[in-house]
């Protein structure tokens, strides 16, 4: 019998089962992050083979996030109703299909459709575990496991850099996607055997959970949700957009790095992110016990983020060999805003957790799509207007940086009653 056996509906899991559940979900999230970030490493190869413009490259990378975003609202309902196990297994089967379709595609339209399928398929890989953790783990453990899930994602993104670059001359990018599909299938087996079934409680006295109509009305009415929306869209979404695509082209097109140097730079960036999320996993429970919560950390931490990004944009090609280091500082300082996601989930009752987390994930990944494609559009527009490529990148990045800064100001100027 699997460890899925008989976890009570609202009781915390035994330690051994909890560890097994975390690891099974972590394997799936590792592969989802690898699939998400691999376009940054493959961008020189795909651009050369398919003759892609910056706009096309942004759309291809953003297609993943478009597919991802389209599922978020129904995903929240399905998670609350059917539980993490059933939902993630159904979705991951689509991800396997998407990986195989990408490996077989021979034109831009086929690649774009396959990327969207990948996005749809892995769109439950973080929301499913976070929904389960909301019921199965205590509050401090939720903060820790959220950070460690993100650390696992950084490990997946780390694997999308130099390891992929090394395998490219040996395998080529098509067999790599077949291997990714096989890895996701392995994660499905682990989840099937370890994750508990979603047991619904049936109390004799009606509660908010049993009378729940499955709508998002309570989420949309929350002032706290709307306070966190702009930073989720621009700052968190922008972090993912940079990490999974535009950091690579900035190093090659602006700083003048070779593809292998860019892959090394991406490795450094993602290693820095992995360490940052590991540290967050250890320190956030203690900080929360001392009353230092997500909102205060976001307030304190984001100025470093804006300063590092402004330095990157202002120096342009002069940043030279420091490009990866400055981008790493930007990405690591962006992890302050990642604390917003578990804070939103914990601001609502447990029976609304899936919808709250999925609604906020929709905000984040809609932001990723807009920033990824938007920067590509702005680069092409600036070059059409006569700017040199380097200046076009600087202008496009500056527009994004301004939007992110304004979203933080909105966060500072708005308060909410149910913030955590």
Separation between Cα atoms, residue 419 and residue 348, nearest integer Å: 10
Q: What's 4's DSSP letter? A: T
Query: For residue 74, how many other CB atoms are within 10 A of its CB?
Result: 10
pLDDT at site 211: 52
In this structure, of 73-77, 218-222, 295-299, 332-336, the range with the lowest mean pLDDT score is 73-77
Q: What percent of the chain has pLDDT over 70?
A: 93
Report the greatest alpha carbon distance in the chain: 71
**pLDDT tens, residue by residue, 160-186:** 988 998 998 899 999 999 999 999 999
Q: Domains of the chain by range and CATH?
A: 15-199+219-413 (1.20.1250.20)
**CA dihedral in degrees (115, 117, 120, 121; nearest 10)?**
-110
Question: Residue 249 pLDDT more than 70?
Answer: yes
pLDDT at site 231: 97
**pLDDT tens, residue by residue, 254-285:** 999 998 899 899 899 989 988 998 888 888 88
Separation between Cα atoms, residue 141 and residue 189, nearest integer Å: 25
Evaluated on CA atoms 177, 373, 370, 250, the torsion sign reads positive
Q: Which residues contact 15 (CB under 8 A, 6 or more apart)?
A: none
Cβ-contact 358, 134 below 8 angstroms: no
pLDDT at site 10: 54
Reported confidence tier of residue 361, pLDDT bands at 50, 70, 90? confident
pLDDT at site 14: 84
Question: Residue 222 pLDDT more than 80?
Answer: yes
pLDDT at site 132: 87
Cβ-contact 41, 263 below 8 angstroms: yes
Burial (Cβ within 10 Å: 0-12, 13-18, ≥19) of residue 278? middle
User: Which phi and psi angles does 210 have, rounded to 5°?
Assistant: -75, -25
Query: For residue 347, how many other CB atoms are within 10 A of its CB?
Result: 22
Q: How many CA atoms lie within 13 A of 216 on its CB side?
A: 17
Reported confidence tier of residue 5, pLDDT bands at 50, 70, 90? very low
């Amino acid at each position: 019998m699997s460890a899925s056996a008989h976890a009570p509906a609202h009781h915390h899991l035994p330690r051994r089962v909890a560890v097994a559940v975390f690891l099974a979900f972590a394997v799936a999230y590792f592969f989802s992050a690898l699939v998400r970030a691999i376009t940054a490493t493959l961008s020189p190869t795909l651009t050369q083979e398919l003759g892609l413009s910056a706009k096309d490259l942004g759309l291809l990378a953003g297609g993943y996030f478009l597919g991802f975003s389209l599922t978020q609202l129904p995903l929240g309902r399905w998670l609350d109703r059917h539980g993490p196990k059933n939902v993630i297994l159904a979705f991951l089967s689509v991800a396997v299909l998407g990986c195989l379709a990408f490996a077989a595609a021979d034109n831009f339209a086929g690649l774009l459709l396959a990327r969207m399928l990948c996005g749809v398929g892995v769109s439950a890989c973080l929301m499913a575990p976070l929904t389960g953790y909301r019921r199965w783990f205590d509050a401090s453990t939720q903060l820790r496991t959220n950070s460690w899930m993100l650390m696992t994602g950084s490990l997946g993104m780390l694997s999308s850099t130099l390891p992929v670059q090394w395998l490219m001359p040996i395998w080529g990018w098509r067999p790599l996607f077949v291997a990714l599909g096989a890895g996701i299938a392995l994660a499905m087996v682990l989840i099937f055997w370890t994750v508990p079934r979603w047991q619904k409680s049936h109390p004799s006295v009606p509660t908010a959970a049993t009378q729940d109509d499955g709508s998002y009305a309570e989420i949309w009415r929350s002032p706290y949700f709307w306070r966190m929306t702009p930073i989720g869209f621009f700052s968190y979404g922008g972090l993912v957009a940079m990490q999974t695509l535009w950091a690579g082209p900035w190093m090659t097109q602006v700083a003048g790095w070779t593809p292998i140097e860019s892959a090394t730079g991406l490795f450094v960036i993602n290693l820095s992110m992995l360490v940052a999320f590991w540290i967050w996993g250890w320190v956030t429970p203690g900080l929360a016990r001392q009353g230092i919560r997500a909102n205060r950390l976001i307030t304190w931490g984001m100025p470093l983020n804006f300063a590092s990004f402004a330095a990157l944009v202002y120096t342009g090609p002069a940043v030279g060999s420091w490009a990866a280091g400055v981008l790493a500082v930007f990405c690591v300082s962006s992890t302050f805003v990642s604390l917003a996601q578990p804070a939103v989930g914990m601001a609502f009752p447990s029976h609304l957790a899936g919808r709250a987390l999925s609604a906020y994930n929709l905000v984040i990944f809609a932001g990723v799509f807009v920033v990824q494609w938007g920067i590509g559009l702005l680069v092409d527009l600036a070059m059409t207007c006569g700017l040199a490529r380097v200046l076009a990148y600087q202008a496009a990045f500056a527009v994004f940086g301004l939007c992110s800064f304004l979203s933080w100001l909105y966060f500072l100027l708005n308060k909410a009653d149910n913030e955590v």
